[in-house]
């Protein structure tokens, strides 16, 4: 059944320094144990059990996950469906009132409370249930409404339309290991190669870079779940060469796959099927 959100969990037993981690869908990251220290412009923002990292799409994050008493745990919810038209209309009115305000860069941080923790836990729980799209949407819009009422929904959705980078990333992320060509992607979006390339160029990126980012993020997720060899990881991320995968991973995140795997607390045994 189609899901309106993705939920990923991340663990560490040693500090995890990562750079340029792509966020291609609006996301909220909640830290349950340890802390995340995020480089944000000229600041260093710290996230723990008392606050959330709220980040819109098409961002890249540089941070360190720091364990507490040998454990770091966090949960990331990625939102694949926007708020309802009613909620977006209310959000647009909120944003319009700020047009003439002094320009500023808002910090992607909100303090949590019992109500926010409750609606967050409800979203995480529905992923494990076989609920219809309509029921999922009711839960999701209730969460969005809660964010709207406390005045932070704009942090998640600063724009009402998807960028081309976000559209392409979502499409590629459904099957990161597939042989994705730009021609096949153009056919999916019913557009020409020149048009797709031009739109991505306006967003300072290339098709091959978007594909590589999607595959590298998939690699991070795989290493969080199971103990794979580097060759297995490479193949599952669409690379035939272990060396090429390792090189691209280090180029993206500033750490090798072997170094990253040493920081991860394994939560399951590998499925060999």
Residue 270 pLDDT > 60, yes or no? no
Residue 267 pLDDT > 80, yes or no? no
Average pLDDT on 72-93 reads 92
Average pLDDT on 92-107 reads 55
In CATH, the architecture of 162-273 is Orthogonal Bundle (1.10)
> Where along the chain do its domains lie?
5-160, 162-273
Query: pTM higher than 0.75, yes or no?
Result: yes
Radius of gyration of the chain (CA): 19
CATH code linked to domain 5-160:
2.60.120.810
The H or E element containing residue 119 is: helix 114-126
Is 5-160's fold the same as 162-273's? no
pLDDT band at residue 103 using 50, 70 and 90 as cut-offs: very low
> What phi and psi values does residue 263 have, to the nearest 5 degrees?
-90, -10
Direct distance between the N- and C-terminal alpha carbons of the chain, in angstroms, rounded to an integer: 22
Alpha carbon distances (Å) from 202 to 24, 164, 192, 208, 244: 16, 9, 16, 15, 28
Residue 271 pLDDT > 80, yes or no? no
Contact, 141 vs 5, CB < 8 A? no
Residue 193 pLDDT > 50, yes or no? yes
Average pLDDT on 261-270 reads 65
- Between residues 270 and 16, the one the model is more confident about: 16
- Over residues 195-245, the pLDDT tens digits come to 999 999 999 999 999 999 999 999 999 999 888 888 999 999 999 999 999
Residue 272 pLDDT > 50, yes or no? no
Rounded CA gap, 268 and 273, in Å? 14
Residue 54 pLDDT > 60, yes or no? yes
């Amino acid at each position: 059944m189609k899901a309106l959100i993705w939920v990923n969990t991340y663990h560490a037993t040693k500090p995890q320094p990562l750079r340029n981690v792509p966020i291609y869908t609006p996301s909220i990251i909640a830290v349950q144990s340890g802390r995340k220290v995020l480089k944000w412009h000229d600041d260093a923002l710290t996230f723990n059990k008392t606050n959330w990292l709220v980040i819109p799409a098409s961002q890249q994050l540089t941070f360190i996950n720091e364990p507490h008493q040998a454990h770091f745990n966090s949960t990331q919810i990625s939102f694949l469906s926007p708020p309802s038209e009613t909620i977006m209309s209310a959000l647009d009115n909120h944003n319009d009132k700020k047009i003439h305000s002094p320009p500023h860069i808002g910090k992607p941080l909100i303090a949590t409370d019992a109500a926010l923790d409750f609606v967050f836990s409800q979203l995480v729980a529905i992923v494990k249930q076989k609920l219809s799209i309509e029921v999922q949407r009711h839960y999701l819009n209730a969460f969005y409404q809660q964010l709207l009422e406390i005045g932070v929904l704009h942090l998640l959705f600063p724009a009402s339309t998807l960028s081309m980078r976000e559209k392409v990333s979502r499409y590629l992320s459904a099957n990161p290991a597939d042989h994705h060509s730009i021609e096949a992607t153009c056919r999916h979006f019913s557009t020409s190669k020149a048009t797709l390339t031009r739109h991505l160029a306006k967003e300072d990126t290339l098709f091959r870079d978007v594909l590589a980012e999607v595959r590298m993020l998939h690699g991070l997720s795989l290493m969080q779940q199971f103990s794979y060899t580097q060759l297995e990881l490479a193949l599952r991320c669409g690379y035939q060469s272990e060396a090429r995968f390792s090189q691209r991973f280090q180029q993206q995140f500033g750490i090798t796959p072997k170094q990253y795997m040493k920081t991860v607390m394994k939560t399951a045994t590998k499925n060999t099927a």
